[in-house]
Chains A and B, each alone.
Chain A
Amino acid sequence: MSMFRSYLKAQAFHEGRAQPSATVRHVHLSHAPLVFVPLRMAGEAAAPLGAMVGCDRAAPTLLVVPQPRNRELRFAFATELAAVVLPYIERFAGETETVEAKTPYERCLDAPQILVPNPRGVAFSRLLGRSTRFRRTSGPYAVPPSVPAFGQWLTFLAERAEHAGSSMFLAMTDVLAAHWVTGQSGVEDGTLAALLAWIAPPAGSTGHEAAAESEDPTRTPPAGPDTDPEFDRKVLQPAIDAYDASGSPERVEEALRRHLQPTWDLMWRAVDLLRGLPEAAGVSGRWERDRTALAREVARLGENPTPQGRWDSPVAAARRLAALEIAQQTYEAARAFDDPLAMAEYRVEGAAFAGEVVAVEADRRIVPPGGKRAVPRPLVTVRTGDPVRLAPGTRVFSPARRTQRKAEIVSVAGDTVTIQINDGMGQGREPAPGSVPSLGEVVCYTDLDPGGGRTPPLPALSDTPWTHGGPPEPYVPTDEDAQESWS
């Protein structure tokens, strides 16, 4: 946590209301996202118990496994869930455009967006994908073709969810906590109901009161995938017993509907709240990347529809980690560039500063080291109240002039910082109008680089050195994987 966020927490506690930590929405929000609230059976890694799923808040699809220990019923659940989710994904997978670039590439026109309540929902979905993607459609334990297809898509989406800035598969508590700071601790923020209670308490109550009320599991059941132990004991166990005795799933359905409905409603309230925020400038570019990733997965499935393997090869794993790290850095920088509140956090830490321009030498020309001709190198002096921790020589960037990528700090003296502009001033003798900040203008500079992030040099997969196991063998489906028990 940073001091900025810690202050906001104290302020939220003091006011009894969450404090916005963003002025814009940093995630893409679809017109009709697919909300997915899964439940699993306690004590099991990936035994589904039920789910509420759908794109229409008024008409969720309720799926239940009336006897979660029954393997057949689990696959029936997977089949029913696939019947909802697959058509939703395939709607987007089919429509692509070719993007003109040095190497033209395919991109889907739009992409699916699946929202789950919390990160555990993502982790559970990943396991659900893992437990279904290897299944075969013929031979022993055959399943309908939709089951492994669904498993592969879930695996793909759960993998994308790890990329900062991707919006195809989001955990709602993470998204909300990225836009508001509450007056409770991070532990409590993991609960969707308590988080929303602070962000939008019912009229007349404070965040404190609303959050306290939301902690009663009989009124607000946990958002899953784990259920409340008391619910398991008092409601679910007898309902499952009733199913075992009568063969009728009615009681289990009723129990799970009541357990899921409050979270379903909260998910859509959260969607409404997020819709109230204007979209950040960088969102559409990041969504384009999601659309490209989707097209790539479609192409992969078209060429070789075998499921993703169980393990990454060392080089693939290293590449993946590097890609995740870059995604994280670029996303954080982009957030700050798109949102003065996000930038404020960096200003507090001294990694950014804002202030009024108090002196400009716009016509300054120097002969750069190693050069022959004098070129424009204007100096801009900014007075700031921020505690600048950037040393002379640091390359800095400004949200207001994003094409300038070479400005650098020349000196820091007291509360003034002098910057030299090195590029982005046009071809003329004089800097192009507007390319150099003018006297009195309020500017902001930082060493965060939203355009940064180069892939570190890693060998191509086919060049994996023998010390790292040599080039990875592609995954070959096995009977064992296909028939793996799911007990």
Chain B
Amino acid sequence: MSRLDALRGPTPPLDHNARSIAALAANPACDRRAVLDAVGVDKNLMAVHLGYSAQFGQSPFAVVRTRQFEEIVRAGGGAGLLPLLREALGLSIDTARWESADESADEGGGESAEEGAGEAHAVRHTRTEALVARAAGDPGTAVVLDRLLLRLDVAGHEVHLEPGVLVFQAGERFHVVTIKPFAVVDGQAETGRVSAAAREAAVYVHAMRALLVRMGLAPDRVSHDVVLVCPENFSNVPTASLLDVRRELSVLAWQLARLTRIDRILDGLPSGLSLDLRIEAGVPTRPAADLDEAVSGIAARYAPECLSACEMAYFCRAEARSGGALDALGRAVRDDLGGVETVGAAIGLATGTRTATAGEQGVAERLRHIRKIYQETVAQETVA
């Protein structure tokens, strides 16, 4: 049994998805998230069991809308998608084959069967490789590949990436095609959502390129231009635009390279540590205090950005706040206060109750100055 299996206990691991990998990469210094993700813990369930409210719940309306839009785009074996791809990529093809790496998905099956999950993964991954190889070997035929199961090396640990995009090949080029339900109104969409889509798509481009390399093919056959398919204006009619994810790709590669190798983190953890929720009939039964202690034993690196990126955020925020960590107020605050770690230390330096270390002299002087003019100004104004 591997160390990860031991930490996990008998619960089957969760798959990674592009969002979780992008989020993990965005906070490369957080060992806690690295371990929880490598183990494949259901972080949402864990946070709720620890007494924090659930994050990232989706409204049923949004779920319906997303599904409807996906259906519209995929309707008729991609009949509506082809003209969009043609236009976005400036191609002159008439037909494209549609192939899925997951044949069971059509019958409503899936990878839910617990025992067979590993096996099903293996089958789908083999099929994925075969489909990509065939497409690459026949660049003259346009093809849309659906439900590919890609693998990715994350912190020295191989993970599966839930299928969330289509891959289109025409000519010598593969393009990642991502379908998103947010509207593009007069050529503009919400910036936050577009950048999230770009970050996620970059994960797929990265994984596709890794696959081509493993197969002995040139990675740049996967384009850095991703096709983003969204509803146009206030309608349900899909429109496609190209999204250049070069920047996101290099950020991702840099961040992935910075992740500590998971076995090094694991080596530093106490032996006998378990992250098992002891799920019985779908309900965690492990005493929360016990679990709390186990999770707290893995170092975290909280920042307010976690609130929109990680299911553990409220737990980690409470921990950071109880220690008065400046990180809880935002990374910028900590950067501004040049390396001072806690609120207590910052206030201590400002009031002079804390002796500045050699490295803190400059910050201390500035803080005392700020405190002085702030107090003077407020006092003057209250008199006036």
Contacts and interface: CB of A to CB of B under 8 A. Distances in A.
B305 A43 contact: no
Given A9-B333, A13-B343, A185-B304, A227 B59 contact: yes
Interface string B338-354: 00000110110010000
Contacts of A188: 304, 307
A43 B336 contact: no
Given A42-B61, A46-B234, A183-B329, A385 B369 contact: yes
B357 interface: no
A1 B366 contact: no
A127 B188 CA distance: 11
A7 B371 contact: yes
Given A41-B61, A217-B53, 17 more contacts: A2-B336, A7-B350, A7-B370, A7-B371, A8-B374, A9-B330, A14-B344, A14-B347, A42-B61, A43-B63, A45-B183, A46-B234, A229-B62, A233-B60, A344-B374, A386-B369, A486-B234
Contact of A45 (B234, B333, B367, B374): B234
Given A7-B337, A10-B346, A341 B366 contact: no
28 contacts: A3-B336, A6-B336, A8-B374, A10-B326, A10-B337, A10-B343, A13-B329, A42-B61, A42-B65, A44-B61, A45-B183, A46-B185, A46-B234, A68-B61, A185-B329, A187-B308, A215-B53, A216-B53, A232-B59, A232-B60, A340-B380, A344-B370, A347-B373, A348-B366, A348-B373, A485-B234, A485-B236, A486-B234
A43 B65 contact: yes
B106 interface: no
A186 interface: yes
Contacts of A265: none
A311 interface: yes
Contacts of B337: 3, 6-7, 10
Nearest to B233: A484
B112 interface: no
Contacts of B59: 42-43, 227, 229, 232-233
Q: Which has the most chain A C-beta neighbours within 10 Å: B233, B329, B337, B344?
A: B329
B336 A237 contact: no
Contacts of A208: 321
A11 interface: yes
**3 closest Cβ contacts across the A-B interface?**
A43-B62, A45-B183, A43-B65
B197 to A, nearest CB: 15
Contacts of B315: none
A133 to B, nearest CB: 12
B122 interface: no
A130 B60 contact: no
A131 interface: yes
A126 to B, nearest CB: 9
Given A13-B343, A23-B377, A1 B336 contact: yes
Interface string A346-360: 011000001000000
Contacts of B62: 42-43, 229
A186 B344 CA distance: 20
A3 B330 contact: no
Nearest to B374: A344
B361 interface: no
Nearest to A208: B321
A20 interface: yes
B182 interface: yes
Contacts of A46: 183, 185, 234
Interface string B47-87: 00000010001111111111000000000000000000000
A230 interface: yes
Interface in A16-46: 20, 23, 41-46
Interface residues of A, number: 57
A337 to B, nearest CB: 14
Interface of B: 53, 57-66, 181-183, 185-187, 190, 231, 233-237, 304-305, 307-308, 321, 324, 326, 328-330, 332-333, 336-337, 343-344, 346-347, 350, 366-367, 369-374, 377-378, 380-381
A329 to B, nearest CB: 22
A243 interface: no
B369 A45 contact: no
Contacts, number: 154
A2 B344 CA distance: 19
A68 B372 CA distance: 55
Given A45-B183, A45-B234, A6 B61 contact: no
A440 B299 CA distance: 56
Interface string A123-139: 10001001100000000
Contact of A485 (B235, B304, B369): B235
A11 B328 contact: no
A208 B65 CA distance: 37
Contacts of A45: 182-183, 185, 231, 234
Contact of A3 (B186, B235, B370): B370
Nearest to A240: B61
A465 B373 CA distance: 52
Interface string A178-200: 00000111111000000000000
B60 A9 contact: no
A70 interface: no
Q: Which has the most chain A C-beta neighbours within 10 Å: B58, B332, B369, B370?
A: B370
A6 B235 contact: no
A453 interface: no
A186 B332 CA distance: 10
B160 to A, nearest CB: 27
B57 A230 contact: yes
A88 interface: no
A387 B324 contact: no
Given A10-B347, A13-B324, A237 B60 contact: yes
Given A1-B336, A7-B374, A347-B373, A43 B181 contact: yes
Contacts of B321: 208
B308 A43 contact: no
Contacts of B332: 1, 6
Given A6-B336, A10-B326, A184-B329, A484 B57 contact: no
Given A46-B234, A227-B59, A341-B381, A311 B304 contact: no
